[in-house]
Amino acid sequence: MATHETPILFMDRTRVRDNYRELKKALPPFRVAYAIKSNSHPEIIEILKKEGAHFETASIAEIEKLLALGVSAGEIILSNPVKAPEAIRRALEHGVTIQSFDSVEELEKFKPYAQSSTALTHRIRPQLRIVVPNEGSMWPLSGKFGADEELWPAIFEYMKTHEIPLDGITFHPGSQCETIAGWDSALYLTWRCIEISREYGLNPTTINIGGGLPVDLGRKIPTAAQVGKVVLRHLKEWERKGFKPADLIVEPGRFISGSAGVLASRVVGVARREKTWAFLDCGVFTGMMETIDGITYPMLFSGTGEKERVMLCGPSCDSVDKMYEAKIPHPKPGDVILFLSAGAYTSVYASDFNGFLGPRIVFLDEIKDPKDLLFLI
């Protein structure tokens, strides 16, 4: 035991590749643009680049990281709907043309780059991010982002007046979306948006269905094939109505990196008060940020013995650093806890708050049985 210092995020290269292939198979006409925000380790980018993946970004730093790794600008999408003017311009100078917006205010920033007279070589391809219900999502992304139906007329009027072409429409069903209905309702709304935009003489040709595909967190989830079936059914319906998108994009993050990662942590201390508290070497500031809003992970334990209800918390001195309650074998310092399906939105969220470091990433070729990892650490 104890050959590696925890926390460690074990990543399975084969699983990253297989996840990409599974989604490509489920959505053959789509460009699969990996959302690097979920886990931006260069090796993951490298694996996916070799597979032919494209990439979704939120910032110039992410774009420049990809360019430095040899990804070409045409394979990068900037899907953050609100950006600094400088970010819009620099992305375009690099050749990243597909950029999202969800307000007239953002369109005002796009205006100089949207008309045929733009001073830059690359003309922007504006993608309207619409609000969709996010039903069944464990990590909803509506509210902060997206234009709802009431805003569409003002947006389209502005585009028509200023001769800004509407390249495409995008949505995000919410991350860890655990019901097919999430995509179904989003695609009905997308069609409505297409129809309304056409009334303003606009002609969207790119459809970007965002991310949201779930990983196994211990509940029933749809497979990529099931999501694909619903999406392709809508596309067929649209085609019957005379609309065939020229460019189709899906932006998975969690689906690609999540199930490929197992986060190993240790119990550093136990306190028995009104309830039992187990203090781990990973917590809200060291990779487990999503637990504050309801994400829980399937777990494996080195400890044996009777199970008890325990509040799992992180090592820092901040009381926000509480994860969730779970029934686990009677904890004691040194016990190892493995969090499964934890490859996404963990290492990337980690800070060094209080001097506690987030998980180091260790790549393995295949994690056939996560239980084996208990013997590695």
Ligand X SMILES: Cc1ncc(COP(=O)(O)O)c(C=O)c1O
Could you give the maximum distance between any two Cα atoms of the chain, in Å?
72
82 or 357, CB closer to ligand X? 82
Query: Is 56 an interacting residue with respect to ligand X (CB under 6 A)?
Result: yes
Is residue 38 a contact point for ligand X (CB under 6 A)? Answer: yes
- Which residues partner with 170 through β-bridges? 129, 208
265 touches 281 (CB < 8 A): yes
Would you count residue 126 as binding ligand X (CB under 6 A)? Answer: no
**Which string of DSSP letters, residue by residue, matches 95-121?**
T--EEEE-SHHHHHHHHHHHSTT-SSS
Angstrom distance (rounded) from CA 129 to CA 132: 9
How far is the C-alpha of 134 from the C-alpha of 143, rounded, in Å?
10
Place of tokens 């994400």: 295
Q: Chain centroid to CA 162: how far?
A: 33
The piece of 106-114, 154-162, 223-231, 247-255 that touches ligand X (CB under 6 A) is 247-255
- Binding of ligand X at residue 252 (CB under 6 A)? yes
Site string for ligand X, 331-370 (x = CB under 6 A): -------------x--------------------------
- Residue 327's Cβ-count burial label (10 Å; 0-12, 13-18, 19+) is exposed
What b/e string do you get for 195-210 counting C-beta neighbours within 10 Å, with b at 16 or more?
Answer: eebeebebebbbbbbb
Find the shortest distance in angstroms from Cβ 161 to ligand X: 27
| Binding-site string for ligand X from residue 149 to residue 188, where x marks contact by CB under 6 A and - marks none | -----------------------x--x-------------
Query: Segment near ligand X (CB under 6 A), from 45-53, 106-114, 115-123, 246-254?
Result: 246-254
x-marked contacts with ligand X along 195-224 as a string, rule CB under 6 A: ---------------xxxx-----------
Question: Of 30 and 301, which CB lies nearer to ligand X in the complex structure?
Answer: 30
Which residues are near ligand X by CB under 6 A?
Answer: 35, 38, 56, 79, 141, 172, 175, 210-213, 251-255, 344
